Structure 1
Amino acid sequence: MQADIFCRVVDNYGDIGVCWRLARQLAQDCRWDIRLWVDDLASFARIQPGIDAHAARQELAGVDIVHWSDNPAPALAARDVVIEAFACDPPAAFVDSMRRTHPVWINLEYLSAESWVESCHGLPSQRPDGLVKHFFFPGFTTATGGLLREQNLSAERDALQQSTALQDSFLRSAGVPDDVLAQRRGGARTVSLFCYPSAPAASLATALAADQRPTVLLVPQGVAPALESACQSPGAPRIVRLPFMAQPDFDRVLWCADLNFVRGEDSFVRAAWAARPLVWQIYPQEENVHLEKLDAWLARYPAPESAQALIRAWNQPESGGAAAAVTAALSPAEWTAWAAAARDWDASQSALPGLAENLAAFCAELAKKR
C-alpha cells in the first residue's frame, strides 16, 4: 500500500507522537510506502533527532516526511490510502486529487475506552462529492482498532528490565549521574513524571518524601518547573532532569521506572507496555468530559481501588487528595497488588492484535471493494 498520513500538531507532542509511531510501524512492519505530512516540524524535531525543522521534504526511518502546506505540489497527489489523524482534514488541493482516485480514506480517532466506540469503529461516512471516509477507533477490545505496539517490543522490554547493567548503561547515556544509579541499586524507587501543568506535582513530592523508601524522580526538562522547590525537605525525592528524547529512548525510561506518571495518549499507551504501575493524566476537556473517559478506562484497568483513587485524585487536583492517595497506593500490600495488575493488563492487551496490524488489514479489505 502507498499511504499518506496527515498530522496537525494541535497541542504538546501527542499528535505527532502517535502519527510518527504509526508511520514507522506501517513502513517497517507492514512494508507500506508512507508519506507523513506534518504542519509543525519544530515540535516533531523535539521528539525525533534528525528532523530538519525547515525542510520542505525529508526522509527518515523509511518514511517520506512532507512539511504540510495548504498548497502541496501537484505531484503529491492521493494514492491508495489517506489517513487523517484526529479529524485534521487534508488540504483542499489534496482532496481534489482524492476525487480522481477514490483512495481508502481513514479518520484515525482518539483513543477511548468508552463502550460506544465499539459501535462506531469502522463506520463509513458518505460525502456529497462521492468520497467515503471511515472512522477507525483505537481501543482496548477486539471490537476496536487496538493499540500501537511494535513487533518484539515485549522481548526488548524484558531484556532491559531483567538487567541492572543494561539499565545503568542506558540511564547513564541519558544523563543520570552515577550516584543516582547507585541509589537505584541500593533499593531506591524510580518514578518517572510526565504531566500537564495542572498536575499536583508538589503533593506527589510531599508524599514521596514521607515514604520510608527513597525515591529517584526522572522528569523531562520543562515539566513541573516548580518541582525542585517542593523537594527541599529531608527525605525528598532526588530529581533528575532528562532532555527530550527519541521515542524508543522515552520507552526505555518507562521500562526502567517502577512507577510512571504519564499524560495524554501516546505516553499513556507506552506506559501500559512497560508492565509497571502507571498514573494517567488524561487531556483536560471542558465540563470535565475527560473524567468520564477516565472512568471508562478505570472500569477496565484491574488495579486495586487505592491505585484507582490515586489516578482520580491526580486528575482532580482541586480535591487536595493526591498526597494521601499516593501514600495509600504505595503501601506494601497495595503496591504488590498494583504491580501484579500492571503485568496482567500488559499481558491481556498484548494478546490482542495491534493498531497498525488492524489498520492495514482494514484498509486492504476496503481496497478490494473499490
Structure 2
Amino acid sequence: MNHSARTWDIFCTVVDNFGDIGVTWRLARQLVHEHGQVVRLWIDDLDSFARLCPSLDTALAEQQVAGITVRLWPRDGFPDDVDAAEVVIEAFACTLPDAYLAAMQRRRPTPAWYNLEYLSAEDWIDGCHNLASPQPRFGLMKRFFFPGFTAQTGGLLCEAGLFEARDAWQADQAAQAAYWQALGLPPRREGELRVSVFSYETDALAGLVDTWSLSATPVTALVPTGRALTSIAPLFDQALEAGTLVQHGNLTVKVLPFTDQPGYDRLLWSCDANIVRGEDSFVRAQWAARPFVWHIYPQDEGAHLVKLDAFLERYIAGLPAPQAATVRDLNLAFNTGGDASALWPDLAAALPALTQHALDWAKRQRAHGDLAGHLVHNAENWLQ
C-alpha cells in the first residue's frame, strides 16, 4: 500500500548508551528508505550515537545522515521556532520539550502523537497497544504504541530483505572465511563453536569462561568492546582491548572494536550462539536465527525478571522439555548472576535443534508484520 510522505519527528534520550538510539535509528532509516517518509531525529547524546553511526559529525547540531535530518536535542533552550511534524514519536517515555509541545498545539491538524514503548512479551501488552490517551492540558491526543510478539501488538523492527540477506550470508562459506580473516581469526577448527558476547556486567561470565576453557571442543568468544569486558578482563593476566587475542585452555577470546549496526548483524549471523543485551541487540539476535541468551536491562525490584520470564514462556513453547529447561535456566542464571556454566554443555549439545527452533521462531515473528510498517499505516489512518 502506498502512503503519503508525512513529516516525522522522533525524540530519543540516550539512557543505556546504545539501546534507545539503536532502536530509533533503525526506525528512522526504515521510515525513510522503505516508506518514503520525511524524518527528523532528535538525539540528546551525539557521542553515543556516533558509535553506531561513524559518519555522524558530533560537532554539528544539525546534519543529514542517510537521508535523515539528525538534530541535537538541547536539554536547555530548545528552539522556539521549530515547527512540529505531522507525526511525533516520543521514544520510550522521554518527555517532549515545552517549546515543541507548543508547536504541536499550533499545528493544524494536530499531529499524530505516539509514545513508542519498550518491548515486552507480557500478556497485558496486547490490550494496551494503540490505546488513546487524551492530553487535555495541551489539547492533543497521544497513543501508546507497543512493540511485541503477537499480531495484537506493533510487531518488531525488521527491514525488507533482511532474512534474504541473512540466509545468503549464512550459506556463503567463502564470505564468512573472509570475514573471520578480516577480524584476525584463523579458519574454524573442527567442532569449534563461536559465540558473540555483548552483555552487561555479570558474575555468570566468569563461570562460562572457565567452562569454555575446559571444553572438549574449541570455543571462540567474540567480545565487542563494552561492559561485558568488565566481567571478563579480571580473569586474564593482561589488558583486554580492541584487537586483543588471548588463549585460555580451549577458549580463545577475541576482543572486537565496536561496530555499526550492519557489522553487528554480520557478527550475529556468523556465530553459532549469541549472548546479547537490552532491546535492540535482543531483536537482532532473534532475526539472526541462532540460539541466544538475553541479558535484559536490570530494573528495580526484579521487574526485568518478570519481562524475561514472559518472553521465555513464549519462546520455548514447543521445545522438548529438556531443551526448554536448558534455555530457561541458562537465561535465568545469566540474569541473576547464577551458575550458568553447568548449563552450557546442555545448550551446546542441543545447538542443531535450537538453531532450527530459532529459525522457526523468527519466521513466525516476521509474519506479524514489522513495527515501522504498522506505525506508518496507523498514522495514515489517524491523519486522513
Q: Give the TM-score normalised by the residue count of structure 2.
A: 0.90
Seq. identity, %: 45
Tell me, yes or no, if structure 1 residue 198 matches structure 2 residue 202.
yes
Aligned equivalents of 1:270, 1:295: Cα separation in 2: 19
Taking a change above 3 Å as real, the CA distance of residues 351 and 199 of structure 1, as seen in their structure-2 partners, is: farther
Pick one of 326, 329, 337 that aligns with 2:344. Answer: 326
In the TM superposition, what is the alpha-carbon distance from 1:328 to its structure 2 partner? 2.3
Taking a change above 3 Å as real, the CA distance of residues 249 and 96 of structure 1, as seen in their structure-2 partners, is: same
SS at match of 2:222: strand
Aligned equivalents of 2:173, 2:235: Cα separation in 1: 30
Aligned equivalents of 1:71, 1:62: Cα separation in 2: 26
In the TM superposition, what is the alpha-carbon distance from 1:226 to its structure 2 partner? 4.6
Tell me, yes or no, if structure 1 residue 189 matches structure 2 residue 193.
yes
Deviates more, 1:188-197 or 1:335-344: 335-344
Alignment partner, residue 332 of structure 2: 312
The answer to whether the 8 Å contact 1:82/1:106 transfers is yes
Aligned equivalents of 2:151, 2:201: Cα separation in 1: 35
Aligned equivalents of 2:168, 2:356: Cα separation in 1: 19
Tell me, yes or no, if structure 1 residue 28 matches structure 2 residue 48.
no
Alignment partner, residue 381 of structure 2: 365
Which residues in structure 2 correspond to 1:217-296 (within 5 Å)?
217-222=221-226, 223-230=228-235, 235-296=249-310
In the TM superposition, what is the alpha-carbon distance from 1:221 to its structure 2 partner? 1.5
Q: Residue deviations 1:62-84, cap 9 Å, x none? A: 10000002434344210210001
Aligned partner of 2:216: which letter?
Q
Aligned partner of 2:286: which letter?
A
Deviates more, 1:334-343 or 1:268-277: 334-343
Pick one of 156, 159, 172 that aligns with 1:147. Answer: 156
Alignment partner, residue 60 of structure 1: 65
Deviates more, 1:244-253 or 1:222-231: 222-231
Aligned equivalents of 1:161, 1:346: Cα separation in 2: 15
In the TM superposition, what is the alpha-carbon distance from 1:231 to its structure 2 partner? 6.0
Tell me, yes or no, if structure 1 residue 84 matches structure 2 residue 98.
no
SS at match of 1:251: helix
Aligned equivalents of 2:211, 2:356: Cα separation in 1: 22
Taking a change above 3 Å as real, the CA distance of residues 104 and 199 of structure 1, as seen in their structure-2 partners, is: farther
Aligned equivalents of 1:116, 1:245: Cα separation in 2: 35
Aligned-pair Cα RMSD in Å:
1.6
Deviates more, 1:217-226 or 1:230-239: 230-239
Aligned partner of 1:39: which letter?
D
SS at match of 2:70: strand
Tell me, yes or no, if structure 1 residue 97 matches structure 2 residue 113.
no
Q: Residue deviations 1:18-68, cap 9 Å, x none? A: 010000000111110000000000000111111111211011111000000
SS at match of 1:59: strand
Taking a change above 3 Å as real, the CA distance of residues 239 and 189 of structure 1, as seen in their structure-2 partners, is: same
Q: Residue deviations 1:247-283, cap 9 Å, x none? A: 0111111000100000000000000000000100011
In the TM superposition, what is the alpha-carbon distance from 1:106 to its structure 2 partner? 0.4
Aligned equivalents of 2:189, 2:163: Cα separation in 1: 23
Deviates more, 1:7-16 or 1:196-205: 196-205
Q: Give the TM-score normalised by the residue count of structure 1.
A: 0.93
Pick one of 8, 14, 23 that aligns with 2:13. Answer: 8
Aligned equivalents of 1:252, 1:199: Cα separation in 2: 27
Deviates more, 1:64-73 or 1:90-99: 64-73
Aligned equivalents of 2:181, 2:70: Cα separation in 1: 32
Alignment partner, residue 244 of structure 2: none
In the TM superposition, what is the alpha-carbon distance from 1:326 to its structure 2 partner? 1.3
SS at match of 2:39: strand
Aligned equivalents of 1:329, 1:291: Cα separation in 2: 21
Tell me, yes or no, if structure 1 residue 167 matches structure 2 residue 176.
yes
Aligned partner of 2:285: which letter?
A
| Unmatched 5+ stretches in structure 2 | 1-5, 238-246
